[in-house]
Amino acid sequence: MLRYFIAVYKSYFKGENNMKKLWLTLGSAIVIGGGLFGYSMYEKHGKIIPYFEQLSKDQVSEVADVQPELQKKAHYVGSEQCKKCHEDQFNKWHDSYHSKMIQDVHKDPSAILADFMKLPQDANFKKEDIKYTIGGKFKQRYMMRKDLNGSEDYIVGNYQWNTQLKQWQPWKTTKDWFHDAYEDNNSKVGTSKTCDGCHFTGFMSTQKRVEPSIACEACHGPASEHIQNPKEPNIYKATSFDPKRATEVCLQCHMRNRDKRLEHTSMQNLYGDVRDYPMGYEPGKPLSEYKTKAPFDHNESEEFYADGVGKKNRTQGNEFVQSMMYKHGITCVNCHDPHKLDNTAQKSRGDSTCMQCHSFGSAIGPHQKSIEQHTHHKVGSTGSSCIECHMPRTGKHLPNSPLTVRSHIFRFITPSETKKYNVPNACNNCHEDKTVDWAEEVTAKWGMKEWTQY
């Protein structure tokens, strides 16, 4: 590099206008030096650059409505309309679990995963009664047509198939926070009150089952105006708006909740009509106006350990809003491709996702010089995995199932918390043959005593 500047210097100063050439030379040096410095900084801190625009946006108030004005008069049209222009995104979505959360068994009988030869005799349904399946990744439930109050509706069978254990298990629709709002009988509780808001696109805001599955408009809002004028700002795109509203697109379903109306009335007054989803919500609208987060009062419940960590599935949002990542504007789509839905508990992309931002030497850590110094484990071992330590498995999809739900609080859950709250920790999740006391002693030797008391 020095030889280059000497050569440039000699060439420029052979002729006239030496002062002008001096300034040109200095300018070139500054540009080149700045470029080299910038490249060096990118190597050190640059992995956060793609998110800079998002992270630097003003975070709007909890009640700000950022849904495009031109979209407010739109109606739902179904994902086939989106496919015409967005075939790549459509195909990724079509291969994802979102497209399969509700499946019509008359169109695809193979959607049924359960072994009906083993269905218990006291089941209130048979295989031929099923219209839709719900889920299938960890468990599968079955919907039967039963109109209620003069409207098309469905009920869920009193047994569900545990896909992890390959066995039938009893299921009560009312075994949840809304148990006092309904008669304790699956056949009396319509899915219009419990499941359909999240599992049928369009139902949440219109009470109409536009499309079975979590399709395009569940995240982008109604698209009738957009397909007519695709160049106009008439569709919600999470990555173009405030991080809070963007995250809430996912939290509309991936956050355990209570019926918003219960803030102003009683369960008894809403008897038979309590909703387990934010009725009326559309992407871009402030979710807090339609949904009350499931309460956490530092006492263990069916949903949470006493330190706020989730015990069940669908608590990602309840945990995430407690994290520093949420507070600094990180959103779900920074880690999950919203169309492909990769990087899941079953198919993780591994540490590469975390290292997009948290590379060694970056301002946001890790602040040690090597993996071994940071984790006290060998490179490539389970103990050196970001997610195994910062997103340990803490929850279950069903009581008898193994731990498969990963925490989204992102802080390290200490063995001391396990002793105090019975919450699983990363150390003993891996070292099952060791005691919590052993894990506490080891982490203490590593200097991991903390001031914070959870």
Across 181-255, where does the E strand assignment appear? 200-201, 211-212
Mean pLDDT of the 424-438 span: 96
**Cβ neighbours for 234, distance < 8 A, ≥ 6 positions apart:** 68, 70, 71, 74, 225, 226
| Strand, helix or coil for residue 154 | strand
Number of other CB atoms surrounding residue 6 within 10 Å: 9
Q: Note the pLDDT tens digit of each residue in 2-28.
A: 444 444 444 444 444 555 554 555 555
Q: Return the H-helix or E-strand segment holding 257.
A: strand 257-259
Q: What is the CA radius of gyration of the chain?
A: 27
| pLDDT of 126 | 97
CA distances from 348 to 99, 326, 344, 351 (A): 19, 21, 5, 9
In this prediction, residue 27 carries a pLDDT of: 55
| pLDDT at residue 345, as a whole number | 77
Q: In the prediction, which pLDDT does 6 show?
A: 42
CB atoms within 10 A of CB 384: 17
**String of DSSP letters for 230-290:** TTSS-S--GGGS-HHHHHHHHHTTSS-EEEGGGGTS-TTTTTTT--SS-TT--TTS-GGGT
pLDDT, average across residues 378-390: 94
Tell me the per-residue pLDDT of 106-123, one tens digit each, with 9 for 90 and over: 999 999 999 999 999 999
Q: Say whether pLDDT at 170 is over 90.
A: yes
Task: Give the whole-angstrom CA distance, residue 17 versus residue 100.
Answer: 73
pLDDT in tens, 433-447: 999 999 999 999 998
Looking at residue 314, its pLDDT comes to 94
pLDDT at 30 over 60: no
What amino acid is encoded at 303 in this protein?
Answer: E
* pLDDT value of position 341: 85
Burial (CB < 10 A; 0-12, 13-18, 19+), residue 380, is exposed
- Token pair 């070139």 is found at 28
Residue 336 and residue 315: Cα distance in Å, rounded? 16
pLDDT per residue over 149-166, tens digit each?
Answer: 999 999 999 999 999 999
- For 343: left if phi > 0, alpha if psi spans -120 to 50, otherwise beta; the answer is left
pLDDT recorded at residue 244: 92
Helix locations, 331-385, DSSP H: 351-354, 371-375
Lowest mean pLDDT among 15-24, 175-184, 341-350, 355-364: 15-24
pLDDT at position 148 is 94
Evaluate whether 67 touches 236 at the Cβ level (below 8 Å).
yes
The domain segmentation of the chain, as residue ranges, is: 2-55, 64-293, 295-454
Give the pLDDT band (50/70/90) at residue 39.
Answer: very low
Beta carbons within 10 angstroms of residue 256's beta carbon: 23
Residue 318 confidence (pLDDT): 97
Residue 3, number of CB atoms within 10 A of its CB? 7
Q: Round the average pLDDT of the chain to a whole number and report it.
A: 88
Question: Residue 408: which residues within 8 A CB-CB, separation 6 or more?
Answer: 310, 315, 316, 317, 319, 320, 323, 391
Indicate if the pLDDT at residue 451 is higher than 90.
Answer: no
Cα dihedral sign for 317, 320, 326, 332? Answer: negative
- Of all residues in the chain, what percent carry a pLDDT higher than 90? 74
CA–CA gap between residue 375 and residue 389 (Å, rounded): 9
Using pLDDT thresholds of 50, 70 and 90, give the confidence band for residue 241: confident
Q: In whole angstroms, give the CA distance from residue 392 to residue 332.
A: 18
- Tell me the pLDDT tens digit for each residue of 243-283: 999 999 999 999 999 999 999 999 999 999 999 999 999 99
pLDDT at 15: 46
Q: How far apart are the first and last CA of the chain?
A: 55
Can you tell me whether residue 288 is helix, strand or coil? helix
Return the pLDDT at 8. 41
Q: What is the pLDDT of residues 223-233, one digit of tens each?
A: 999 999 999 99
Q: Which residue has the higher pLDDT, 180 or 297?
A: 180
pLDDT for 264 equals: 97
Cβ-contact 271, 356 below 8 angstroms: no
pLDDT in tens, 78-103: 999 999 999 999 999 999 999 999 99
